Amino acid sequence: MSQSIDTMRLVEERDGAVLVLTLDYPARRNALAMPLRTAMLEALERAIGDRAVRAVVLTGGGGHFCSGGDISGMDVSDQLAGRERMRRSHQLIRLMVMGQLPIVAAVEGYCVGAGLSLACACDTIVAADDARLGAGFGRIGLMADLGLPHTLPARIGQGRARQILLYHNQLSAPEAERIGLVDHVVPKGHALAKALEKAKFLAEQAPAPMALTKQILGEGLDRALEDERTFQSALFMTEDSREGRSAFLEKRKPQFRGG
């Protein structure tokens, strides 16, 4: 079924025991607006309650996975609003990282910012050979969020994670595979097929060991998310964050002053 949300939607389809979730927000290359985060959370909660669903594939429509957070909708008015925004987003990340269903990301095109956070919250990342992966949160005066400060170094180590998060390095899919950020690289247009293949294998495994393994591997996430919630909600209120968002929307270089 499809769930429409204003000018965006989350498409839900079944392929046997695999639930395929497709981000469809073409106007902003599937930017992760709050309504999409809510729709994803609700879809995963329903899937967990459906014993016929044994694995999930997450992908994006229109040739892109996810271009990051929706800057146009990032109008946080105070720290309480920022903390609530992060609380709602973290419900989704906890369910992805530590929930009982294995999740495979099928990445085509851009997978940056919050898109990279989503991919790293999955158990397996399949990327097309022309995909681009990166995290440029600093360009808008914010830190990486949605669990990325925890999940990225868990995948590639602290040193490489620092280069991506601090220097805003954007990687090609083959380079991302070389450092362990991506698990499988396939020709353009074939990421979904490969992801479905991996998800169908996972769907055939005993579900309890799968769920408990995910829970153990996710240890430390809760503490990281609590810190992230405190830090990011404070950063939303800074002048540098306002300048970063304005510069992004105006397509100019930001002028940060440390405030």
| Residue 122, pLDDT score | 98
Q: Quick one: which of 88, 143, 87, 98 has its CA closest to 121?
A: 98
**Mean pLDDT taken over the chain:** 94
In this prediction the pTM is 0.94
CA distance 21 to 56: 7
| 21-49 mean pLDDT | 96
User: Which residues are paired to 110 by β-bridges?
Assistant: 132
Query: Are 179 and 1 in contact, with CB atoms under 8 Å apart?
Result: no
Residue 120: give its domain's CATH number: 3.90.226.10
Instruction: With respect to residue 177, please indicate whether it lies within any of the assigned structural domains.
Output: yes
* Residue 25 dihedral angles phi and psi, to the nearest 5°: -140, 70
Number of structural domains the chain divides into: 1
Beta strands in the chain (DSSP E): 2-5, 8-15, 18-24, 55-60, 103-107, 110-112, 124-128, 132-134, 170-172, 184-186
| Residue 3, pLDDT score | 44
pLDDT reading at 5 higher than 50: no
Instruction: With respect to residue 253, please indicate whether it lies within any of the assigned structural domains.
Output: no
Instruction: With respect to residue 165, please indicate whether it lies within any of the assigned structural domains.
Output: yes
Lowest mean pLDDT among 68-77, 213-222, 225-234, 240-249: 68-77
pLDDT reading at 10 higher than 70: yes
| 67-86 mean pLDDT | 81
User: Which residues are paired to 112 by β-bridges?
Assistant: 134
Instruction: With respect to residue 217, please indicate whether it lies within any of the assigned structural domains.
Output: no
| Residue 4, pLDDT score | 43
pLDDT reading at 49 higher than 70: yes
Tens digit of pLDDT for each residue in 93-105? 999 999 999 999 9
| Residue 2, pLDDT score | 43
Q: Per the structure block, which two tokens stand in for 70?
A: 């929706």
User: Which domain does 112 fall in, by range?
Assistant: 2-188
Tens digit of pLDDT for each residue in 50-59? 999 999 999 9
Instruction: With respect to residue 227, please indicate whether it lies within any of the assigned structural domains.
Output: no
| Residue 1, pLDDT score | 42
Element (H, E) at 237: none
| Residue 72, pLDDT score | 72
Tens digit of pLDDT for each residue in 137-175? 999 999 999 999 999 999 999 999 999 999 998 999 999
Instruction: With respect to residue 245, please indicate whether it lies within any of the assigned structural domains.
Output: no
User: Which residues are paired to 223 by β-bridges?
Assistant: none
Instruction: With respect to residue 64, please indicate whether it lies within any of the assigned structural domains.
Output: yes
How confident is residue 253, by pLDDT bands cut at 50, 70 and 90? very high
User: Which residues are paired to 11 by β-bridges?
Assistant: 2, 22
CA distances from 95 to 121, 174, 251, 253, 258 (A): 9, 29, 35, 36, 35
Query: Are 17 and 50 in contact, with CB atoms under 8 Å apart?
Result: no
Instruction: With respect to residue 250, please indicate whether it lies within any of the assigned structural domains.
Output: no
User: Tokens 């392929």 — which residue?
Assistant: 15
